[in-house]
């Protein structure tokens, strides 16, 4: 067991976690699992998260300053952002393509579809939203049916879930009113301590780190040498902390899996029902993600001439992938991604330290693909025909939403509300896909992390920094 590679140990731990959750469900031990096993999973995620913020700071400063000259920085920066954008747009397009081919939302019978459609029309009318596909079923329907739908919507709106969601929405509306450049404004910190203290402000930390690193490059070396060595030593210390904690990863991953499953086991039979309905949708998301994972990224590596074999690539980054799967967080996985990319893919630190922390925050191909599929699925489910223009709009909003999503569990689901909203669909529909979201979150995080690793190897290769 001692000699077994880490990813195998993690995989075995995951399987044991699943087995344990079954035993715990069958023998009524879910309470025990939640009280005594699950907290260790939470502790593990917390440790990885507290390492992630300082690591982003130290590694970007070290990475930028290590590049040494501003023109190299500009070039690598432009390449990084360009590649991140290309992979994301490609990923959304794959999502749109398969969801339009397989149409997972049209499974229900006609009367269910009409009633979903009516629900949407009532909602759109009461929110003064123009229905763009030109069909209007309401005229043909009986008043009684409409009244029932209105009452159902009203009772949905009275629920606590609705209230929290609409509170979030009105915050978002308030920020909408602040103008189109608000996202840019939000990227720049007014207080760096605050930015470091809030996991959601990672973009501000990145901005600060880039600026700080550039300032170091612009100054004479003798003035900055000691600061630079401080940052690079701090970087190494945090990476050492990751090593230490990763030795225990299999144990923590076991706790994480057992805990997550035991907590949802109460509603397992309920979940089974929904699973059948949502199964096809989940399968489509999963299929798209697999195309990216096993097709697109290896292909990109080939096209850009990176000499890493197919198996070597997957073997090299598998510890990061397994961790992404079990934590559902690219931020928590970041330290291990850096480690795998350095050690196994032989990408030099000065590239990975710069490319990966930015990627973990802004490059989420899995999330954007999932959002595209989810939006179209929900439209199909409500019998709404989206025009070509609206679908193109989804490419833009899903790309932006994935950039804006924090690298933490369920961030993509929250951003999905914004994408739905932007094309005039009901943001509350996220509740429909919610039951299968966690498992899809685990899968899309694997893709997010794989994409970052791929781009870092391509950039290292293009800079002739790889053996
Ligand atoms: N959990 C994802 C990540 O951290 C984000 C998401 O899609 O929810 O990469």
Q: What pLDDT, in 10s, does the model give residues 337-385?
A: 999 999 999 999 989 989 999 999 889 999 999 999 999 999 998 889 8
Burial 45-76 (b: 16+ CB within 10 A, else e): bebbbebbbbbbbbbbbbbbbbbeeeeebeeb
Helix (H) or strand (E) run with residue 211 in it: helix 202-218
* Interval 304-315: pLDDT, tens: 999 999 999 999
CA distance 354 to 4: 31
CA distance 425 to 423: 6
Which one, of 200, 231, 239, 185, lies nearest residue 57 by Cα? 231
Tell the CATH topology of 6-110+181-462: 1.10.3860
Confidence of residue 1 (pLDDT cuts 50, 70, 90): very low
Distance 310 CA to ligand 1 centre (A): 25
Would you state the pLDDT for residue 197? 85
- Read out DSSP for 5-52? -HHHHHHHHHHHHHHHHHHHHHTT-HHHIIIIIHHHHHHHHHHHHHHH
In the three-class reduction of DSSP (H, G, I as helix; E, B as strand; rest coil), residue 267 is classed as helix
- Asked if 372 and 394 touch (Cβ cutoff 8 Å), the reply is yes
Residue bearing the CA closest to ligand 1, atom 6: 412
- pTM for the predicted model, two decimal places: 0.76
For residue 178, the 8-state DSSP code is T
Shortest-distance atom of ligand 1 to CA 328: 1
Phi, psi of 242 (to 5 degrees): -60, -45
If one residue of 200, 411, 419 were mutated to test the ligand 1 pocket, choosing by the most ligand atoms within 8 A of its CB, it would be 411
Q: How far is CA 446 from CA 237, 364, 458, in A?
A: 26, 10, 19
Distance 177 CA to ligand 1 centre (A): 27
- Asked if 392 and 372 touch (Cβ cutoff 8 Å), the reply is no
Would you state the pLDDT for residue 352? 92
Average the pLDDT over each of 17-26, 86-95, 325-334, 452-461 and give the range with the smallest value: 17-26
The residue that leads in pLDDT, 11 or 236, is 236
CA dihedral 431, 436, 442, 444 (to 10 degrees): -70
Residue bearing the CA closest to ligand 1, atom 7: 412
Alpha carbon 350 to chain centroid distance?
Answer: 25
Average pLDDT of the chain, as a whole number: 83
Confidence of residue 143 (pLDDT cuts 50, 70, 90): low
Would you state the pLDDT for residue 152? 62
Determine if ligand 1 sits within 6 Å of the CB of residue 329. Answer: yes
The residue that leads in pLDDT, 364 or 246, is 364
Shortest-distance atom of ligand 1 to CA 448: 9
- For 338, residues 6+ apart whose C-beta sits below 8 A from its C-beta are 55, 59, 239, 352, 353, 356, 357
Would you state the pLDDT for residue 16? 93
pLDDT of 287 higher than 70: yes
Residue bearing the CA closest to ligand 1, atom 1: 409
Mean of pLDDT values over 72-81: 89
Would you state the pLDDT for residue 139? 46
Distance 406 CA to ligand 1 centre (A): 7
Would you state the pLDDT for residue 347? 95
CA distance 317 to 19: 26
Determine if ligand 1 sits within 6 Å of the CB of residue 409. Answer: yes
Helix (H) or strand (E) run with residue 70 in it: helix 70-102
Determine if ligand 1 sits within 6 Å of the CB of residue 359. Answer: no
Q: Whose structure tokens read 């199909």?
A: 380
Angle, alpha carbons 367-372-374 (nearest 5°)? 90
């Amino acid at each position: 067991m001692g000699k077994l590679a880490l990813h195998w140990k993690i995989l075995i731990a995951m399987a044991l976690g699943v087995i344990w959750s079954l035993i715990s469900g069958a023998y009524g031990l879910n309470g025990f699992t939640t009280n005594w096993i699950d907290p260790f999973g939470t502790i593990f995620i917390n440790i990885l998260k507290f390492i992630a913020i300082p690591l982003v700071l130290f590694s970007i400063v070290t990475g930028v300053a290590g590049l040494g000259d501003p023109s190299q920085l500009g070039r690598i920066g432009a390449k990084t952002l360009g590649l991140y954008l290309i992979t994301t747009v490609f990923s959304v397009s794959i999502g749109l393509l398969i969801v339009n081919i397989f149409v997972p939302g049209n499974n229900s019978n006609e009367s269910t579809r009409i009633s979903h459609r009516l629900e949407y029309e009532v909602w759109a009318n009461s929110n003064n939203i123009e229905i763009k596909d030109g069909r209007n079923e309401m005229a043909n329907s009986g008043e009684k049916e409409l009244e029932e739908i209105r009452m159902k919507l009203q009772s949905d709106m009275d629920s606590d879930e609705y209230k929290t969601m609409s509170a979030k929405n009105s915050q978002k509306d308030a920020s909408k009113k602040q103008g189109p450049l608000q996202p840019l404004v939000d990227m720049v910190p007014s207080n760096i301590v605050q930015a470091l203290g809030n996991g959601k402000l990672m973009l501000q930390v990145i901005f600060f780190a880039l600026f700080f690193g550039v300032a170091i490059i612009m100054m004479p070396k003798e003035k900055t040498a000691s600061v630079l060595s401080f940052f690079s030593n701090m970087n190494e210390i945090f990476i050492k902390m990751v090593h230490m904690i990763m030795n225990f990863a299999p144990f923590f991953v076991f706790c994480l899996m057992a805990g997550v499953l035991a907590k949802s086991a109460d509603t397992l039979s309920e979940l089974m029902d929904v699973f059948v309905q949502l199964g096809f949708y989940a399968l489509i998301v999963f299929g798209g993600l697999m195309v990216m994972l096993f097709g697109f990224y290896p292909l990109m590596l080939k096209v850009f001439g990176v000499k890493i074999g197919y198996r070597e690539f997957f073997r090299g980054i598998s510890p990061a992938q397994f961790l992404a799967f079990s934590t559902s967080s690219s931020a928590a996985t970041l330290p291990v991604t850096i480690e795998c990319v350095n050690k196994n893919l032989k990408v030099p630190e000065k590239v990975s330290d710069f490319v990966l922390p930015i990627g973990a925050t802004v490059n989420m191909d899995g999330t954007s693909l999932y959002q595209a599929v989810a939006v179209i699925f929900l439209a199909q489910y409500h019998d709404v025909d989206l025009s070509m223009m609206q679908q193109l709009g989804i490419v833009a909003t899903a790309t932006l939403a994935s950039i804006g999503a924090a690298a933490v569990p369920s961030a993509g689901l929250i951003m999905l509300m914004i994408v739905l909203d932007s094309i005039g669909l009901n943001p509350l529909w996220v509740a429909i896909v919610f039951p299968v979201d966690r498992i899809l979150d685990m899968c899309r995080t694997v893709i997010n992390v794989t994409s970052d690793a791929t781009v870092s190897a391509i950039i290292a290769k293009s800079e002739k920094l790889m053996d």
